[in-house]
Amino acid sequence: MLAYILRRILLLALVLFGVSVLIFGILMTFSPERRAATFVTSPQQVEDIPKIIKQFGLDEPFYIQYFRWVREVAKGNMGWSLVASRPVTEAFWTYFPITLEMNLFAAPIVILFGIWLGTISGIHKDTWIDHSSRIMAIVGWSLPTFLFALVMLMIFYGYFDLFSPGILSDRLNMFIHDNPGKFYRYTKLYTMDGILNGRFDITLDALAHLVLPVMTYVIVVVALNMRVMRSGMIEELSKDYVITARAKGADKRTVNLKHARRNALLPVITVAGQLLALSMEGSIAVEVVFNRHGVGWWLAESATQLDMPVLMCICLFMGLVFVATNLTLDILYAYIDPRIRLT
């Protein structure tokens, strides 16, 4: 077990190195001029591009620049983000909680709701329940997220003036900023902090701003989970031990929920893991539309404006998340499925 984890950590190192080299390599395909141009914000400034290239040594060979970058990172300096116009690490820690918060609400709903739907339609295979719920899920799945998000925005915010976009309404935001003494940012998550500080209005307000993003995200993503769960259920229900259980005198409910579902859950765990690992890019469109300035939004901005340090930072982070999730998943697996032993 321990050896296993250790090996995984080694792997992590490998992954991070690989990822960084890859992304760096891709970004290096730009001409130095182009990369210098990222610092330019108005036509007048274009004059200074050669100077900028000099200043940052953008015309030096790949490995030199790469190692310069590594050295900086080792010093804990991930670079300067133009999009956020502040150091990348600092920016990351301001944006990350926003994305995290959204996913903290979305993920459980996605997973549980998906499992629930999957179980239902698995049990009632080929009945109208099955078909309708599947079609529903797939339709959700086939919606382009940004489109759906905009529609949601129009319906709720446009018609009913509900759930305004953003993260927190100005009044409260200003309040928080005005008296940092009264409102501690323990977790950086507004909902949590609101509770911890006994300011439930803030929690509620934050929730109100979360409703639309979470809803959109859930409806789009749930299909993934539901599908796996469904086929899992169908498969398990066809197995012999189910009959054994029936022969024991187990009632349908017990058979479905205790015997079949337990086994059907295994593949779902994997999917859930993927969801977790991908949640960040999953939230790009949502964050852009609902004007939540989280990592997803930052990513979109940086990718289009070619904010290299940001891309690097986020890719590395995602690599980290990915490996970490897989590790936890494997452990979870071993816990749920007695047949698996980690070696």
> Using CB under 8 A, which of the segments 42-50, 63-71, 182-190, 191-199 binds other proteins?
42-50
For residue 234, the one-letter residue type is I
Instruction: Give the Cα separation of 243 and 59 in Å (integer).
Output: 70
CB of 196 to other proteins, least distance (A): 20
The answer for residues whose C-beta is within 8 angstroms of residue 101's C-beta and 6 or more apart is 189, 190, 191, 206, 210
Q: Which of residues 143-182 bind other proteins (CB under 8 A)?
A: 143-147, 150-151, 153-154, 157-166, 170-171, 173-174, 177
CB of 153 to other proteins, least distance (A): 7
Q: How far is CA 328 from CA 15, 185, 321, in A?
A: 17, 28, 10
Does 139 bind other proteins (CB under 8 A)? Our answer is yes
Q: Which of residues 178-217 bind other proteins (CB under 8 A)?
A: 204-205, 207-208, 211, 215
CB of 78 to other proteins, least distance (A): 13
Binding other proteins (rule: CB under 8 A), the pick from 5, 6, 22, 257 is 22
Q: Are 265 and 219 in contact (CB under 8 A)?
A: no
Q: Which is nearer to other proteins, 45 or 328 (CB)?
A: 45
Q: Which is nearer to other proteins, 238 or 328 (CB)?
A: 238
Q: What is the DSSP letter of 179?
A: -
Closest to 102 measured CA to CA, from 220, 178, 207: 207
Binding other proteins (rule: CB under 8 A), the pick from 245, 269, 271, 286 is 245
What phi-psi label fits residue 277: left (phi over 0), alpha (psi between -120 and 50 degrees) or beta?
alpha
CB of 74 to other proteins, least distance (A): 19
